[in-house]
A = this chain, B = another copy of it.
């Protein structure tokens, strides 16, 4: 049986883990890594038999391009591959209207080009989205709360780093329960800046001014970096008119490895869908798992 040929687009924290997940998948192989030309030299990737190119056309046949890139670049990047007839998988995580707009635009291209695009396919959004839907299958009325952390928040970390006087920083999300969070921000201060003033500026930023935020000054932010993250999804709800149905889902994960693995699972499913763009809740879960259909049904059901 021919293996699914995966191109890894972007080779940062997540891209490296995508490579590992593809290599561990019995039905897949890495066709190559696609990176920006000016980064290829810097990356110094040296994996036997895996070409690193600045243009996917330099690789042979590719079935699926896994976009291990910043969410903000997905809307401009995914269409390039879909237009070439290559399926795409991304972990787009910008919520609200932009999610729907992206889905509609990728759906149109996918149908025109007879390809499949799976979007928002990390652990949240992604597998957590499936969990949230499953909880409502059991109890359609009630409240779901999603509690993240403790773990690094990439978006908040980037925001802190942009604050004048901050040399390096990390923002950690800590759950307070019932979907509320506090922020612990650790910074290295630039010479000549006052900690209290910088701290106030961070707390006034729109990323932080809604949350309970603590800022600490440290000597070395690099020593605090740990890619562990977690989530706790709770629902208490009503089945029919029976109340107090309680459901809890908790994970403790190395974040980039989990994101990468879910994208690889979605890449497998992309080959089993009709042309179009999908989120994970629109795909039969069985399509994401390696194995023979009847044995999967025996195992999971």
Contacts and interface: CB of A to CB of B under 8 A. Distances in A.
- Scoring A264, A265, A284 by chain B CB atoms within 10 A of each residue's CB, the highest score goes to A284
A185 interface: no
Contacts of A25: 140
A283 interface: yes
Contacts of A285: 130, 133-134, 137, 281, 285
B245 A137 contact: no
A286 B120 CA distance: 15
Contact of A24 (B23, B132, B141): B141
Contacts of A21: 239-240
25 contacts: A20-B241, A24-B240, A24-B241, A95-B298, A125-B301, A127-B138, A129-B300, A129-B301, A131-B131, A131-B249, A133-B289, A134-B285, A137-B285, A137-B289, A138-B251, A140-B261, A140-B289, A239-B261, A240-B261, A247-B249, A248-B251, A280-B301, A281-B296, A282-B297, A283-B284
A246 B252 contact: yes
Interface stretch (A54-62, A96-104, A174-182, A213-221): A96-104
Contacts of A284: 281-284
B96 A137 contact: no
A294 interface: yes
Given A240-B21, A286-B281, A261 B130 contact: no
A264 B139 CA distance: 11
**For this complex, into which size category does the number of interface residues on chain A fall?**
35 or more
A99 B42 CA distance: 55
A257 interface: yes
Tally of this chain's copies: 2
Interface string A231-268: 00000001111101111111111100110111011100
A193 interface: no
A20 B239 CA distance: 9
B261 A138 contact: yes
A180 to B, nearest CB: 19
A294 B134 CA distance: 17
A129 to B, nearest CB: 5
A288 interface: yes
A123 B245 CA distance: 12
A154 B76 CA distance: 56
A288 B133 contact: yes
A4 to B, nearest CB: 14
